Structure 1
Amino acid sequence: MASCRNYPFAKNGHFIDGVDEYFNLTWQSNVWLYMDYLPYNGDYGVRLDSLYPKDRHIFQLLGLKGRAVQVLFTAKPKNRLNYHLAVLRHRRKGFDYSHYEKFQGKDAYYYYRDFEHDFLVVRHVVIPSKDNRLTSMVYYVDKDKHMGDGFKMLNYLAEINAQELQLDEGFRNFWQITDCHEDKVDLTFKIRQELTKKEKIVYLQMYTLYENSRGISYAKILTRKDPDSLSLALCPNIYALEYRNGRDQLLHTDTLYLAE
């Protein structure tokens, strides 16, 4: 851990298994990811409190000093283990863009610069938010595994996260996907507040149950301040509701039957 001391991690960061988004309750910010990002398991996944071995060296190469940034997370995705991605939040608003290129999309922009170092290909993306707060996305990969499509994987994430930061659509502590074509049904149900009274943070994860499988449809970070009920528009189906703590321990399961 000594190598990580100079790079503090942002407090109150959360990543829920099966959800392609990172949440930070302190910074009131979201970061979009891909679906093959998983919680850290010792080999790969999203790390919320410690660095991967090469991270610190790469951050220093890019001039990201430990006291000037906070790490939100650093990750290796399950199905694309050849690259790393780390996201950091700058403590200061100023940045020298003189050696950076600017990408201008339809709704958002960001700055980027490419490096090569010790057989690694590195891209540093800097995204200014609407209030000029800065977020860095750091991508690095072994040179012989660098894809022919360049930085396509990173570029998509950089653009959608720039939109999130610059359009200022507001912080969400929930995530939802809709996979039905018929009309959704409005539903209000009680939250098990006895769990949030015992645990500082509870993850509510809702799974659609199919004949031989299930898929996550909704997730929310619950705290003691949340109301005792939740209102959603859902596809008619059978759902499993799981309550888990921040250590991913299952606290309770309910089944919800929603008819058309």
Structure 2
Amino acid sequence: MRKNRLGAVAAMAAVAALALTSCGGGSGEGDADSIRIGIKFDQPGLGFKDGNNYTGFDVDVAKYVANELGYTEENIEWISAPSANRETMLQNDQVDMIFATYSITEERNKVVDFAGPYFVAGQDLLVATDSDIASPEDLNGKNLCSVTGSTSAQKVKDNYAENTNLQELPGYAECVTQMGGGTIDAVTTDDIILAGLAAQPAYQGKFKVVGAPFSEENYGVGLPDGTDKCGDINAAISKMIESGAWDEALTANTEGTGYTPNSETNPPELSDTCA
């Protein structure tokens, strides 16, 4: 699967060239020297775009995996992958893979494949520092925000507080801004995302993560349906974990947030097949 496997004879070289195109994800122009990776552009600590710089835990895992597949950082084309568009982007060949806090679910697995998981988060709540909201059950009659295309807010309404008023916005930053203005009572998504938001200079001291996660969210690598890349990607993630690079990336991207991942589920165990 690696790109540097060149044969000694013309026939072998032709076969290798075909393999390279496949590994590169089959971009519209057949460029086997680059790979298109979807990430979030607006999630500090996970996937964040600042000018031409891309940072976060998802980004670091994506870089490591891409390198193991034969792509240098310079070969990566980063593409914004909003929650509501991820399945469509994979189905329409807009990206080769997605690392974007992409929870593995049965419904999504009907139309796309997943490698991983590379992280297990837990759904939690972000509230104002003086809020008395301590659990999802406290959200009846309250305004709860999450992003368009996410399943988080609906889970709260279905399982914990049926009288919650749901509000969907394009990004978590918009949710937090409205909560600062008093029109939103809580923001819900995965704990590691909320920790990254709460740690931002503009928000420090204003908001807190409740710290009572009530789900398990398995972050997978989104791939086109029917892919044969899961085994290689899972091997790369396992190598990252075993080498210590996974821990280093997680610490670097959550430092100062007070966030501690669940040690019973992290780092996750991987198989050699799709999740």
TM-score by length of 1: 0.23
TM-score by length of 2: 0.22
Q: Which has the higher contact order (CA 8 A, sep 6+)?
A: 2
Specify which structure has the higher proportion of strand. Answer: 1
